[in-house]
Amino acid sequence: MTRAIVLVLIAILLLWPVRVALLRARWTEVAPRAAIVLWQSVGLALGVALLGACFELGSSASTGAGPRRAVTDFTSSRLPLPSSTGMRPSELFGMTAGLILVTLLLGSLVVRAVGIARTRARQRMLIDLVGTEHEELPGTVVVDHPRATAFGLPGLKGRVVVSSGAIDALTADELRAVLAHERAHLHAHHDLVLFAFRSLASSLPESRSLEAVSSRVGTLVEMAADNRALRECEPVALARALCALADAGTRPDRESASAATRMNQRIERALGVKRRSSVFALASVLAAVGAVALPLAVLFAPLSGR
């Protein structure tokens, strides 16, 4: 029981003060890639803490020992005998909650993965039908559309898609910056980075907390791609390109207003002096390791008063 209580306290710590602090932190913008790793580790640690607490509560009746002992017995091919005392209500609740949580997590991931696979298959088919490749833009598919837009289409043969409107609206330097940004998304597989966060947010659409986390990680992903693009282009060119694409996609609704705010942050950051910090990056990585190690240490450490 002691281990379960400690795991619940860790989950509460990650859900409230850690999550709020990371959402409000601006230092993450100078080390976006490391900050993304930190967000992933917090999510993993939260899952370990919640599942560990649930199965810790429900494990005593069936095995007489916690998850640490169960893992040890399983790896040594020793199957524990069921307890003759039966399951107490708290143990039944813990085991049921753990199974529901696992089902929810895996189910949301599978459902979204299937949906994304179908959507991308249709997108690739349409792009192949209406898109053309230009010799001036190797590795890029051009779609005839007046709106200025560009995006990366992930897959085994990932490709960058740009509209004719973007080619007309952007200068050569600005277009180069946009293409470098989209290639950065494909190179870093940012679609996989966002997959888990967006899957959980879509599984609980009423949760503003999950939506805020998904949005924040999405902004950090864009900033990480901006950093890579700035290796190939000037900051002013990237900022002008972002302004042009933002103006082309402006619509008067709440979602677009939020997107415009994030775009302004990226523009200001592109023109800023400090966009990278090895100190914050190292601190983020160390914090990420600590976040995952903490619930694992509690789960498998010998605690008295179980």
| Tens-place pLDDT, residues 228-252 | 999 999 999 999 999 998 887 655 4
pLDDT band at 224 (very low <50, low <70, confident <90, very high): very high
Please indicate, yes or no, if residue 41 is contained in any of the structural domains. yes
Cβ atoms 117, 218 nearer than 8 A: no
Q: Which amino acid is present at 54?
A: C
Please indicate, yes or no, if residue 152 is contained in any of the structural domains. yes
d(CA 67, CA 61): 12
End-to-end CA distance of the chain: 4
pLDDT (0 to 100) of residue 108: 86
Cβ atoms 151, 161 nearer than 8 A: yes
DSSP letters, the chain, are -HHHHHHHHHHHHIIIIIHHHHHH-SGGGGSHHHHHHHHHHHHHHHHHHHHHHHHHHHHHHHHSS-HHHHHHHHHTT-PPPPPTT---HHHHHHHHHHHHHHHHHHHHHHHHHHHHHHHHHHHHHHHHHH-EE-TTSTTEEEE--SS--EEEE-STT-EEEEEHHHHHHS-HHHHHHHHHHHHHHHHHTHHHHHHHHHHHHHHSTT-HHHHHHHHHHHHHHHHHHHHHHTTTS-HHHHHHHHHHHHHHT--SSHHHHHHHHHHHHHHHHHHSS----HHHHHHHHHHHHHHHHHHHHHHHS--S--
Full-model pTM = 0.86
Looking at every residue in the chain, the average pLDDT score rounds to 86
pLDDT (0 to 100) of residue 67: 52
| Tens-place pLDDT, residues 59-86 | 754 444 555 554 454 445 554 444 445 5
Please indicate, yes or no, if residue 306 is contained in any of the structural domains. no
Q: Is the pLDDT of residue 17 over 60?
A: yes
| Tens-place pLDDT, residues 126-166 | 999 999 988 888 889 999 999 999 999 998 888 999 999 99
DSSP letters, 196-207, are HHHHHHHHSTT-
Please indicate, yes or no, if residue 271 is contained in any of the structural domains. yes
User: Among 303, 293, 306, which residue's Cα sits nearest to residue 49?
Assistant: 293
Please indicate, yes or no, if residue 264 is contained in any of the structural domains. yes
pLDDT (0 to 100) of residue 188: 95
Q: Is the pLDDT of residue 110 over 70?
A: yes
Cβ atoms 199, 226 nearer than 8 A: no
Q: Which of 187-201, 257-271, 281-295 has the lowest mean pLDDT?
A: 257-271
Q: Is 137 left (phi over 0), alpha (psi -120 to 50) or beta?
A: beta
Please indicate, yes or no, if residue 117 is contained in any of the structural domains. yes
**Residues in the chain, how many?**
306
Q: Is the pLDDT of residue 125 over 80?
A: yes
Please indicate, yes or no, if residue 305 is contained in any of the structural domains. no
Please state the domain count of the chain: 1
The arithmetic mean of pLDDT across residues 194-220, rounded, is 91
DSSP letters, 206-265, are T-HHHHHHHHHHHHHHHHHHHHHHTTTS-HHHHHHHHHHHHHHT--SSHHHHHHHHHHHH
Please indicate, yes or no, if residue 265 is contained in any of the structural domains. yes
Domain that holds residue 78: 2-300
